[in-house]
Amino acid sequence: MASFESAVYQNEYLPDGGTDVNAIVTISCSQAGQAGQTGAGDAGEIIIVDTSGSMGQSNMEAAKAAAMVALDNILDQTYFAVIAGSHKAYLAYPVVQSGPGMVRMDADTRQAAKRAISYFRADGGTAMGTWLNLAKSLFDSVRISGNKHAILLTDGENHNERPSQLAAAIQNCTGAFQCDCRGVGVDWQVPEIRKIAQALLGTVDIIPNPADMPRVFAELMCRSMSRGVASADLRVWIPQGAQILFVRQVSPSVEDLTSRGAPVGPLTMSYPTGAWGDEERDYHVSVRLPARSLGQEQLAARVQLASGAQLLTQGLVKARWSADTNLTAQINPEVAHYTGQTELAQAIQEGLAAQAAGDVATATTKLGRAVQLAEQTQNFDATSKLRKVVDVQEAATGTVKLKKAVDKADVMALDTASTKTTRIRG
Amino acid sequence: MTPTLNCPECQAVVQDYEAFCQSCGARLSPTAAPPTQAAASADPPSSQTRRLVERASQATLCLRCGGRVDADGYCGQCGAKAPSERDHFEAAPADWVAGVCDRGQAHAVNEDAMALWADADRAVLVVCDGVSSSSDSARAALAAAEAALGTLGNAVSTPESDLDAAFAAAASHANLAVLEASGSQPDNPPASTIAIATVTADGVRFGGVGDSRVYWLGPQPRCLTADDSVAAELIGQGVPREVAEESPQAHAITRWLGQGTPGADPRVGRFQPDGPGWLLVCSDGLWNYASSAEELAELVASLGGDDPAALARQLVKWANQRGGHDNITAALARVRP
pLDDT at A143: 84
Contact check, Cβ <8 Å, B74/A294: no
| ipTM for the predicted complex | 0.74
What length does chain A have?
A: 426
Contact yes or no for B78 and A296 at CB 8 A: no
pLDDT digit string (tens) for B257-272? 998 888 888 989 999 9
More confident residue, B33 or B296: B296
Query: For chain B, what is the mean pLDDT?
Result: 84
Spatial distance between the Cα atoms of A237 and A244, rounded to a whole number of angstroms: 9
Task: Collect all residues of chain B within an 8 Å Cβ-Cβ radius of residue A237.
Answer: 76
Q: Do B105 and A316 touch (CB under 8 A)?
A: no
Residue type, A194: R
pLDDT at B69: 86
Instruction: Report residue B122's pLDDT band, with 50, 70 and 90 as the boundaries.
Output: very high
pLDDT for position A261: 95
- Smallest Cα distance from B327 to chain A, Å: 12
Q: Are A238 and B105 in contact (CB < 8 Å)? A: no
Cross-chain CB nearest to A295 (options B72, B78, B108) = B108
A101, with CB counted inside 10 A (0-12, 13-18, 19+), is buried
Query: Is A316 touching B (CB cutoff 8 A)?
Result: yes
B238-266 average pLDDT score: 86
- Report the C-alpha gap between B315 and B296 in whole angstroms: 10
State residue A387's pLDDT score: 95
How many whole angstroms from its chain centre is CA A424?
20
CB of A267 within 8 Å of a chain B CB? The answer is yes
Residue A314, chain B, CB below 8 Å: the answer is: yes
Average pLDDT over residues A321-346: 93
Q: Which residues of B touch A242 (CB under 8 A)?
A: 79
pLDDT, position B41? 38
Instruction: Render pLDDT for B149-182 as a digit per residue (tens, 0 to 9).
Output: 999 999 998 888 889 999 999 999 999 999 988 7
- pLDDT score of B262: 86
Please say if the pLDDT value at position A149 is more than 50. Answer: yes
Chain A, chain B: beta-carbon pairs less than 8 Å apart:
51
Tell me the CATH class for A3-33+230-330.
mainly beta
DSSP B59-112: GGB-TTT-PBBPTTSBBTTT-BBPPPTTTEEEEEEETTEEEEEE--SS-SS--E
What integer pLDDT is reported at residue B279 of this predicted model? 97
Looking at the complex, report in whole angstroms how far the Cα of residue B308 sits from the nearest Cα belonging to chain A. Answer: 28
What is the arithmetic mean of pLDDT over A316-339?
93
Q: Most B CBs within 10 Å: which of A21, A243, A292, A299, as the mutation test of the B interface?
A: A299
- What was the pLDDT predicted at A209? 92
In DSSP notation, A1-68 reads --EEEEEEEE--EE-TT--EEEEEEEEEEE----TT-SSS---EEEEEEE--GGGHHHHHHHHHHHHH
- Of B76, B81, B107, nearest to A298 by CB-CB distance is B81
Cβ contact A297–B81 (<8 Å)? yes
Per-residue pLDDT at A121 exceeds 60: yes
Instruction: Tell me the domain boundaries of chain A.
Output: 3-33+230-330, 44-225, 334-416
Cβ–Cβ below 8 Å for B77 and A298? no
* B67 contact residues in A (CB cutoff 8 A): 240
Q: CB-CB: which of B70, B72, B107 is closest to A295? A: B107
Taking the CA of residue B73 and the nearest CA in chain A, the distance in Å comes to: 9
CATH architecture designation of domain A334-416:
Up-down Bundle (1.20)
Are B108 and A316 within 8 A, CB to CB?
no
The answer to whether A294 contacts chain B (CB < 8 Å) is yes
Is it the case that residue B27 has pLDDT exceeding 80? no
Give yes or no for a contact between A127 and A160, defined as CB atoms under 8 angstroms apart. Answer: yes
Q: Please indicate whether, in this complex, the C-beta atoms of A293 and B77 are within 8 angstroms of each other.
A: no
In 3D, which of A382, A372, A396, A379 has the Cα closest to residue A338?
Answer: A379
- The answer, for A300 touching chain B at a CB cutoff of 8 Å, is yes
The amino acid occupying position A336 is A
Of B79, B105, B323, the CB nearest to A299: B79
Residues in A touching B66 (Cβ below 8 Å): none
pLDDT confidence tier of residue A294, bands split at 50, 70 and 90:
confident
Residues of B within 8 A of A294 (CB-CB) are 105-106
pLDDT surpasses 70 at A133: yes
Assessment of whether the complete model's pTM goes beyond 0.90 = no
pLDDT greater than 90 at residue A293? no
Percent of chain B surpassing pLDDT 70: 85
Asked if B105 and A294 come within 8 Å (Cβ–Cβ), the reply is yes
A324 and B CB contact within 8 Å = no
3 state DSSP class of A105: coil
Q: How far is B315 from chain A (nearest CA, A)?
A: 19
The CATH number of the domain covering residues in A44-225: 3.40.50.410
Exposure string of B127-160, with b = 16+ CB inside 10 Å and e = fewer, is: bbbbbbebebbbbbbbbbbbbbbbbbbbbbbeee
Residue B317 reports pLDDT greater than 60: yes
Beta partners for residue B223, in sequence order: B215
The Cα of B78 is separated from the nearest Cα of chain A by a number of Å equal to: 4
